[in-house]
A and B are shown apart, each in its own frame.
Chain A
Amino acid sequence: MPNNLWAQPTLQNHLYKSRYCITNMSDQNKIQKIVRELQADLPLTSYPFKEIAQRCDMTEDELLEAIKNLQEKGIIRRFGAVVRHQRMGITANGMGVWIVPPEDAGRVGKIMATFREVSHCYQRPTFPDWPYNLFTMIHSSTVAECEDVAARISEATGIKDYKLLFSSREFKKVSMVYF
């Protein structure tokens, strides 16, 4: 890996393309350094941000300010532990796929989102052999409970056409390395 990733034009363009007002080069450079640190593991030491700040050539206060700024802009969606929920006892994970009339997707999506067991709810495109347009990840401790949640979602939304696809094998689960 080259030291200066900005030398690669595709990476250089990323933050320019972003709609979030990161327009000057020194800002981009700073943000890239911070992202590179925070996409990895926060040190388990008393002053973790001090260590990171040193590696980013800034003061601890500047770093904390920058992180808060990234959070306000929504560039950082969440700060904390990323968990393996299977190892927390939440072992059944079903991907619910639903056929929802497109004009009704907003109403239905909002109802689905209210379920505690639903971690993600997105609308996605359809294809001739794939008519399912709403996706809900449903997490619980048993398959039966996931099925029960799906049945309750169906009841609450009036959407009868759905399938629950359970994962039989996990091939990969990692955090993205952006820069």
Chain B
Amino acid sequence: MDKLDKLIMNRIQGDFPLTGQPYKQLAQELNIAEDELLTRLRVLKERGIIRRLGAVFDSKKLGFSSTLVAAQVPEEKIDKAVAVINAYPGVTHNYQRAAEYNVWFTLIAESQERIEQILQEISDKTGAQKILNLPAVSFYKIKVNFNV
């Protein structure tokens, strides 16, 4: 990323112009041509620096339930467990962390009941020794931008 890419990245993460020609407006703000901005955005996407350009929804306000799940999976069963867990479309993030609870994933589903049901299925299918359902009870911060 050169200097202009960084300026674009810092600008594009929020406050997207909701106008007929949003890229033209952004390009004007950045003092470049619309075509140059579009070309650079395509490259930033191809390189995977931009994962998606669009809206981030509040799942709760759309009527969905969400949670963070911690699972204890024996090392030798992790790959199989991850395949089972990742197969659920509502699993959006999944990481291995070096701790007693070693698999951590986020899960969004249409209800608390469905979340419980999915966790039971995962428990049955993966051989996870323990699973913690950790839905947020208070929100202190959800960040918007990563500046570079």
A residues with a Cβ closer than 8 A to B are 10-11, 13-20, 35, 38-42, 44-50, 60, 64, 67-68, 70-71, 73-85, 87-90, 95, 105-106, 109-110, 112-113, 118-125, 127, 129-130, 135, 139, 163, 165-178
Given the known interface contacts A123-B140, A124-B68, A124-B136, the answer about A83 and B57 at a Cβ–Cβ threshold of 8 Å is no
Instruction: Give complex CA distance A171, B126 in Å.
Output: 15
A19-B61, A119-B141, A124-B134 given; 9 more Cβ-contact pairs under 8 Å: A18-B63, A39-B54, A80-B14, A81-B50, A120-B141, A123-B136, A165-B99, A170-B94, A171-B96
A-B contact pairs, 29 of them (CB 8 A): A10-B111, A20-B61, A39-B54, A46-B23, A48-B22, A49-B20, A60-B20, A64-B20, A74-B58, A75-B58, A76-B55, A78-B14, A79-B56, A80-B13, A81-B52, A81-B53, A84-B48, A85-B146, A88-B49, A105-B138, A112-B141, A123-B137, A130-B70, A135-B68, A168-B95, A171-B103, A175-B92, A177-B89, A178-B64
Contact of B142 among A50, A67, A77, A79 (CB under 8 A): A77
Q: Is the CB of A113 within 8 A of B98?
A: no
Tell me, rounded to whole Å, the shortest Cβ–Cβ distance linking B147 to chain A: 9
Contact-size category for B: 35 or more
Instruction: Give complex CA distance A67, B56 in Å.
Output: 12
Q: Is the CB of A174 within 8 A of B92?
A: yes
Residues of A within 8 A of B146 (CB): 83, 85, 88, 90, 119, 139
Q: Is the CB of A81 within 8 A of B13?
A: yes
Contact of B61 among A47, A74, A163 (CB under 8 A): A74
- Main secondary structure, interface of A, reads mixed
Q: Is the CB of A81 within 8 A of B95?
A: no
Tell me, rounded to whole Å, the shortest Cβ–Cβ distance linking A16 to chain B: 7
Instruction: Give complex CA distance A48, B143 in Å.
Output: 26
Contact of A17 among B16, B19, B49, B63 (CB under 8 A): B63
Instruction: Give complex CA distance A113, B121 in Å.
Output: 35
Instruction: Give complex CA distance A65, B141 in Å.
Output: 28
Residues of A within 8 A of B98 (CB): 165-166, 168
Instruction: Give complex CA distance A67, B49 in Å.
Output: 25
Residue B28 is within 8 A (CB to CB) of chain A in the complex:
no
Residue B97 is within 8 A (CB to CB) of chain A in the complex:
yes
Instruction: Give complex CA distance A175, B89 in Å.
Output: 10
Residue B86 is within 8 A (CB to CB) of chain A in the complex:
yes
Residues of B within 8 A of A124 (CB): 68, 134-137
Contact of A77 among B9, B58, B94, B96 (CB under 8 A): B58
Given the known interface contacts A18-B62, A39-B55, the answer about A88 and B48 at a Cβ–Cβ threshold of 8 Å is no
Residues of A within 8 A of B139 (CB): 121-122
Q: Is the CB of A171 within 8 A of B95?
A: yes
Q: Residue-by-residue, is B34-62 near A (CB-CB < 8 Å gives 1, otherwise 0)? A: 10001001101101111111111111011
Instruction: Give complex CA distance A127, B100 in Å.
Output: 14
Contact of A130 among B14, B91, B101 (CB under 8 A): B101
Contact of A167 among B15, B89, B95 (CB under 8 A): B95
Residue B3 is within 8 A (CB to CB) of chain A in the complex:
no
